[in-house]
Every structure is written in C-alpha cells, then in structure tokens.
Amino acid sequence: MIYKKFNNRIIINANLITISPLYIGARTDSFKPGTINGSCLKDAFGRPFIPGSSLKGVLRAFLAGIDDYDCNQCNKEKTTADFRTKPQRENEVREAREKEGEKYKDLSDDEILYELITNASTTVEFLFGSNVMAGKIKISDALPVDDQINTDVRNGVAIDRDTRTALGGALYNTEVVPAGTFFNFLASADNLLPKEINIFGKLMDYFAEGNIIVGGRSRSGLGNIMLRDVEVIKYLITNEEFPTPKKEKCNKSIWEALINVQ
C-alpha cells in the first residue's frame, strides 16, 4: 500500500499465553516409528516461536469468513484477480482511459491503476493485503518471553476416516509448546480509516479473548491462546506536528481504546 500522507499508526503490544498446548509444525510430519513426527518450528537459538504469518493468516481467515460484514463488496465489477499480471494491469488502465478519458486525462497510469485497484479491493484486502497490494496490518513473529522452553511430546494414532478405526502401525508423536507459555505479541497498523479501526479493534478483542485458534492439530484441542497485559500505542498527526506516541494500558477492550483514533 502506498500512502501520500501519514495519518495514524496503531501498535498493539501484549503477552500471548498458551491456554492449551500449541503446535506450530516445522513441516517434517511423517509416520516413521521412533522419531518425533511433528516437531515444533524453532528459531536460530532452538526456541519455539509463532510466525507472524501464522497469526496474520488466522486473523485474515476469520475476518474473511464473516458473512455480510462489508456489503459494499458484494457487487464489485472488478476484483484484485483482474490485476494479477502486468498485461492485465496495462489492459485495465487502457480500458479505463478509453471509457472515461475525461476523468483520467490529468492522471498518470500509476495513479489510474491505484484508483482501479482500490475500487476493486475488499476490506480484508485493505487490512491484510492481496496479490497486488500490501496490507495495512503487520504482525511480528511471536518470540518466547523466556530463553529456555521445555517442549512436550504428545502421542497419537492416525485414524482411518472410512472405518473410524486406528490405522495399523500409524502411531506418531507431536512436539508441542505446553500450556502456560508466554510469547511476545506485536501488531501494528498504519493509516486506518474509521471503519477499518472499528473492524480491527473488534477483531483484536475477539482474538485476545481466546476465540481464534492458532497452529495445527486444533481438532485435538491444541492452539487455544489469549492475550494478557495489552498495551495500545497510538501515533496521531496533530496540527501538522511530528507524531508522538500515546500509550494506554488496556484495562478495557482494545476496541474501546481505538475508537478515538482519527
């Protein structure tokens, strides 16, 4: 996303605590006996962590799954898929000039393209990005608060979905982060409009209260998390001055802390 002017920045800093064991897989799953088939993703120091892309992905998926949260998306003539490749983008700009030449006569191709993509984008795409535009929300990797974390190993058995019985020889182990583990959580959002602030605040409240599952093996009861000690930092432009942060501990909801952001 390209901004001509900085209007606001919202930073949410908190502790993320695992309420149930958490599994963030390192993509080494197999059913080879005698080994940990599903190991945790770890950083360069051997500590389990939660990728920011995983956190952002579950938030995006949840928001995208809410029906009718943005009725203006229902009847868009174009979608961001129409701008996926360079030839498609050039064609859309050319057609726009042909259809509405007077409207676009003083605009460059890049300015026209920006307007066309903006008109085709949904609220989810504005907040979390799409194949043709960067999102307004950024989420950092959640690193553990403690330097040393002892992981647990859970035993399991693969089930044949047709017979609903255990598959022969399909025992496996899963390495998980135990319940009660703390991670640092950091999310930021730039230049949110009032409508986007409303959606972002309510989404973060829902996430903070433990209503969105993170990681894999969720049907086995893994991945329940909550946010604790939430701090909201707001950078606002006032009288054309350089923005200074306003910090607020969230004893109330995140949404209530954000509704006065302009």
162-199 pLDDT, tens digit per residue, is 655 555 556 667 788 889 999 999 999 999 988 899 99
Identify whether residues 90 and 178 lie together within a single domain. no
Q: What is the pTM of this model?
A: 0.80
Q: What share of the chain is helix, strand, coil (3-state, %, to 5)?
A: 30, 25, 40
Identify whether residues 50 and 144 lie together within a single domain. yes
Could you tell me the residue range of the domain that residue 178 belongs to? 8-70+124-258
Identify whether residues 47 and 93 lie together within a single domain. no
Identify whether residues 38 and 102 lie together within a single domain. no
Identify whether residues 141 and 252 lie together within a single domain. yes
CA atoms of 144 and 32, how far apart (whole Å) = 29
Most confident of 54-63, 208-217, 252-261: 54-63
Tokens 């307007």 identify what position? 115
* Domains held by the chain: number: 2
Identify whether residues 116 and 33 lie together within a single domain. no
Q: Are 180 and 221 in contact (CB under 8 A)?
A: no
pLDDT in tens, 6-17: 788 999 999 999
Identify whether residues 220 and 109 lie together within a single domain. no
pLDDT score recorded for residue 151? 81
The sheet with strand 8-18 has its strands ordered as 137-139, 182-190, 8-18, 225-236, 244-249
Identify whether residues 101 and 174 lie together within a single domain. no
